[in-house]
Amino acid sequence: MQKYLNSKNIILFLQAVFVSLIAIGVLPRYYAFFIALTVAAYVFFADQIDAISFTVASIPFYIALPITQNFDTMIYWRILVLEMFVIFVFKYRQAIAKKYREIMSLPGKKTKIKKIWDDYKIEVLLSAIFLLAFFSLIGAPNKIVGLKRIIYYANIVIFYLVIKYSIKKIDDIKRILKHLGFAAIMFLMIGFAQLVAVYYVGYEKFWQFWSSKIALVFYGKRLSQFVTFNNSWFAFSQSGAPSLRMFSLFWCSLAFAMSMIMMIVVPLSFLFGDGVAKRTKNAIWVFIGFLMMAVILSGSRGAWVSIAFAIGFVLFIASLKKTAKYDRKIYVKRILLMFLLFGVLFPLSPVFLGTRDISSSSVGRIWTVKDTSETSNKARIEIWKTSLLSIKNNPIFGTGVANFSAESDKFSGAWKTTSHNIFLYVAVEAGIPAAILAVIVCFYLFKDFIAEFYLADDKFLKMFFLSLSIAVIWVLGYSLIIDSLLTSDKVSLIFATLI
């Protein structure tokens, strides 16, 4: 017990308590500034990995700062990320300068370029995407909104870079993953608490409370007003009997489902290793079961269908000759057991939801995937057509980052302001070249994960890279029908942590 009573856990606990009190209206919103200053002070004095771990564990608790009446949407994780980046650059300034001198001392321009590409290809590609993003704003109707969105993306990339270059050993990865696991547990607890709340108070009272209280504190007035009338929190059947689509502290159920998919990396990674007790393994499988159930209870058909990409990938890995027999028996087999668990839990969702109408549960909703007349399917098809037309008219630099809504209004009565496909989304707003570069980034990341799986000797690392590959392919498959990877800050933070 004594080992858990440290400054990091105490501040994390106090943060959770104060955020909860603000969320339910006991404390006024301006207490968010006190929380932000307190955690920023901890990050300043903490060890780099501890600071990262704390930031990751705090993902469920980040709330918006009410800076002014009309500007209350900035969430304070962005302050922590910028702070960690400045500390990182200052701490490693000599190493950075040394690396720069080494590259500059190489003979010939081509040799320098090759060295930079070999060592920093992801950073080069991301820089090119950002350059195209800035060019996209030249003809954009709303340049200020676009610039704000680019800064947001820069925050996420900075977080990714700080984590990438701060990790020096396997224990660093384990520490960060354990804290990400804590965040996953918090999300799950809130999600299942929502089920209980809806069961006892009814969906109307729950809807009103969550949109006017919780959403206001976590995302600000604008989104609070939006979700009051437009959200994906419930599934309605023809009989009108609604069932909750679990969304926890995310602003929509789709983002929640995507995050729970990514979180499977945490328990799977710790299944193997020296000294993992049987009781611990059983607890890990329970954890995996809750994550799978959360994906199911999110009501997101895209999350369910895109599991086919993950299953296909695992079977492909199992079929390769270079995949050792031991790897098939131990690692691949465990992954397939997880998919089997998903299949077993899927028909049980009506029991958890307490729904009287099967058609509004996962069992009923899965059959509507092919129904093009169904409301959300029909709307997606419309928005995809609008997106393709927009790309045709603005192929090089797009409509401008965060300016798709202005463009979509010209073409049709599109029901959303995004493309509901991450690659279309990038192409629409930043142009086809930016979308191609984004695909190349995904390719290189995925290629590196697979290579690390085959090269790793450590059991933990081997399972980490295999499960990470599976989560990424599942998420990218899911991203063909949603774009939460770029539009939800919590999803983006989790993705940046893992890759």
Q: What would the mean pLDDT of 25-47 be, rounded to a whole number? A: 95
Residue 231's pLDDT is 77
Residues with Cβ within 8 Å of residue 424, at least 6 apart in sequence: 384, 387, 388, 391, 435
pLDDT tens string 246-298 = 999 998 898 999 999 999 999 999 987 667 788 888 999 999 999 999 999 98
The letter for the amino acid at 4 is Y
Q: Which residues contact 239 (CB under 8 A, 6 or more apart)?
A: 357, 359
Cα torsion 427, 433, 437, 440 to 10°: value is 90
Q: Which structure tokens are listed for 187?
A: 């999300």
How confident is residue 164, by pLDDT bands cut at 50, 70 and 90?
very high
For residue 371, pLDDT beyond 80? no
Give per-residue pLDDT as tens, 330-369: 788 888 889 998 988 888 776 655 554 445 455 555 556 5
Reported as a pLDDT band with limits 50, 70 and 90, residue 237 is low
Q: How big, in percent rounded to 5, are the helix, strand and coil portions of the chain?
A: 75, 0, 25
Least confident interval from 19-33, 268-282, 298-312? 268-282
Phi/psi of residue 198, nearest 5 degrees: -65, -35
**450-457 contacts, C-beta under 8 A, 24 or more apart:** 450/317, 454/322, 454/323
Q: 118-122, 225-229, 388-392, 458-462: lowest mean pLDDT where?
A: 225-229
5-32: average pLDDT = 93
Interval 469-496 mean pLDDT: 89
What is the band of 62 on the pLDDT scale with cuts at 50, 70, 90? very high
CA torsion, ordered 491, 477, 455, 120, to nearest 10 deg: -60
235 in Cβ contact with 359 (< 8 Å) = no
3 versus 124: which is more confidently predicted? 124
Provide DSSP, 393-415.
Answer: HSTTT-S-TT-HHHHHHHH---S
Length of the chain equals 499
Tokens at 234, concatenated: 């419930």
Note the pLDDT of residue 107: 87
| pLDDT the model gives residue 408 | 53
DSSP string across 455-471: H--SHHHHHHHHHHHHH
Q: What is the mean pLDDT of residues 54-58?
A: 96
More reliable by pLDDT, 128 or 386: 128
- pTM summary value: 0.91
Whole-angstrom CA distances from 332 to 123, 306, 310, 314, 336 are 31, 19, 12, 7, 6
Read off the pLDDT of each residue in 230-236 and give the average, rounded to a whole number.
76
Letter for the amino acid at 438?
A
- Taking residues 106-132, what's their average pLDDT? 93
- Residue-wise pLDDT for 79-117, tens only, equals 999 999 999 999 999 988 999 899 998 888 889 999 999
pLDDT attached to residue 410: 47
